[in-house]
């Protein structure tokens, strides 16, 4: 059997070495929320940190693992917003310049935060994947290193630290994980299957941005012409091949949720648990709302981002 790209030893080590500002996050059962969902749901809350998302874990571990490797190269990434914030935060902490490519319609809140942390943000292309292509062309022309969420192993291993914490003193029938570029689910699934093979790992994608779902189902990369969803953090049009390969054998299923389901889930978590979450960060709860087979089970999910503008809060949570 071919060795897996992600190392369980590195995932375990990442949980100890990542900047503590991103680790040790709360996990608990919100009884009102579980009652409303008809399932016993533990929330892993990854929004209580300086960038309000889980992405800091992977970015921080990537930097510590590759500091010498890329010492003499400029770093470049593409982002819908949260990964860029994570890279900007970590690069500023390490006195490294960073160039970020984002779509022209990316969240103004996330763009402003990246710039406030010193990143050179370039908005090009009308979606995330178009921005990524611009970033790759720039790197090919200049020799800069393109840091790709879902492809760079250390990013996924750092994200796996969430599962180290989640599974330390708990067991679940299934863990529901928002599925975008794949770093979160591959890192977490690698650890979960290591310590609890019987726990199902279930990815959740938007039905209107289903490239990762279709690719996982078919076992090969399937691109879509668009990824039109309010959940920008999981709006993948062109899957990362390495992430798709990493999912094989450790992810049990991938479910789709509707746009209305995402909105209902955000409102429900706000009303029942008092937590503000963005659409991509709430995908696991939307899955429980829309997939009856999950009812009555012992579940866990990651609330992985809370970067909403004031207008979005008014539109989705009021």
DSSP string of 257-292, one letter each residue:
E-HHHHHHHHHHHHHHH-----TGGGHHHHHHHH-G
pLDDT of residue 132: 94
Of the chain, the percentage scoring pLDDT greater than 70 comes to: 99
DSSP string of 125-176, one letter each residue:
SSSHHHHHHHHHHHHHHH--EEE-TTTSHHHHHHHTHHHHHHTTT---SEEE
3.30.420.40, 3.20.20.70, 3.40.50.1100, 2.170.150.20: CATH of 8-49+157-317: 3.40.50.1100
Chain mean pLDDT for the chain: 96
117 to 51, 87, 92: CA distances (angstroms): 11, 10, 7
Is the confidence at residue 2, as pLDDT, over 90?
A: no
Given a contact cutoff of 8 angstroms between Cβ atoms, the answer to whether 266 and 317 are in contact is yes
Whole-angstrom distance, CA of residue 240 vs CA of residue 181: 6
Whole-angstrom distance, CA of residue 93 vs CA of residue 153: 21
Is the confidence at residue 244, as pLDDT, over 70?
A: yes
pLDDT of residue 200: 98
pLDDT tens for residues 165-218?
Answer: 999 989 999 999 999 999 999 999 999 999 999 999 999 999 999 999 999 999
The mean pLDDT of 60-88, rounded to a whole number, is: 96
pLDDT tens for residues 123-174?
Answer: 999 999 899 999 999 999 999 999 999 999 999 999 999 999 999 989 999 9
Q: Indicate the pLDDT class of residue 318, thresholds 50, 70 and 90.
A: confident
Q: Indicate the pLDDT class of residue 3, thresholds 50, 70 and 90.
A: confident
The mean pLDDT of 282-298, rounded to a whole number, is: 98
Is the confidence at residue 307, as pLDDT, over 60?
A: yes
Domain ranges of the chain: 8-49+157-317, 55-153
pLDDT tens for residues 248-273?
Answer: 999 999 999 999 999 999 999 999 99
pLDDT of residue 154: 98
15 to 22, 26, 189: CA distances (angstroms): 10, 15, 15
Say yes or no: do domains 8-49+157-317 and 55-153 share a fold.
yes
- Give bridge partners of residue 146 from the DSSP assignment: 76
- Pairing relation of β-strands 98-102 and 120-123? parallel
pLDDT tens for residues 84-109?
Answer: 999 999 999 999 999 999 999 999 99
What tokens were used for 185?
């689910």
Question: Mapping DSSP to helix (H, G, I), strand (E, B) and coil, where does residue 83 land?
Answer: helix
Is the confidence at residue 300, as pLDDT, over 80?
A: yes
Is the confidence at residue 1, as pLDDT, over 70?
A: no
What is the fold of 55-153? Answer: Rossmann fold (3.40.50)
């Amino acid at each position: 059997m071919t060795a897996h790209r992600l190392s369980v030893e590195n995932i375990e080590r990442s949980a100890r070495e990542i900047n503590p500002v991103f680790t040790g996050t709360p996990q608990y059962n919100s009884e009102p929320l579980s009652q409303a969902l008809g399932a016993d749901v533990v929330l892993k809350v990854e929004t209580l940190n300086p960038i309000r998302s889980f992405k800091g874990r992977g970015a921080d571990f990537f930097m510590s693992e590759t500091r010498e490797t890329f010492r003499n190269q400029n770093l470049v990434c593409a982002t819908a917003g949260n990964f860029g914030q994570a890279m900007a935060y970590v690069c500023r902490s390490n006195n490294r310049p960073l160039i970020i490519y984002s779509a022209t319609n990316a969240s103004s809140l996330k763009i402003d935060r990246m710039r406030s942390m010193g990143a050179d943000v370039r908005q090009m292309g009308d979606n995330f994947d178009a921005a990524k292509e611009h970033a790759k062309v720039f790197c090919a022309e200049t020799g800069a290193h393109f840091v790709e969420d879902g492809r760079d192993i250390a990013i996924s291993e750092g994200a796996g630290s969430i599962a180290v914490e989640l599974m330390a003193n708990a067991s679940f029938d299934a863990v529901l994980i928002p599925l975008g570029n794949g770093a979160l689910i591959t890192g977490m699934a690698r650890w979960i299957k290591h310590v609890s093979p019987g726990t199902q790992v279930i990815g959740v994608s938007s039905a209107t941005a289903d490239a990762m779902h279709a690719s996982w189902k078919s076992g090969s990369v399937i691109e879509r012409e668009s990824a039109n969803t309010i959940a920008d953090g999981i709006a993948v049009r062109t899957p990362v091949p390495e992430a798709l390969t990493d999912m094989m054998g450790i992810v049990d299923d991938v479910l789709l949720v509707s746009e209305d389901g995402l909105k209902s889930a955000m409102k429900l978590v706000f009303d029942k648990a008092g937590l503000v979450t963005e659409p991509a960060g709430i995908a696991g709860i939307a899955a429980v709302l829309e997939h009856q087979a999950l009812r009555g089970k012992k579940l866990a999910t990651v609330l992985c981002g809370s970067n909403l503008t004031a207008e979005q809060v008014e539109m989705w949570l009021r």
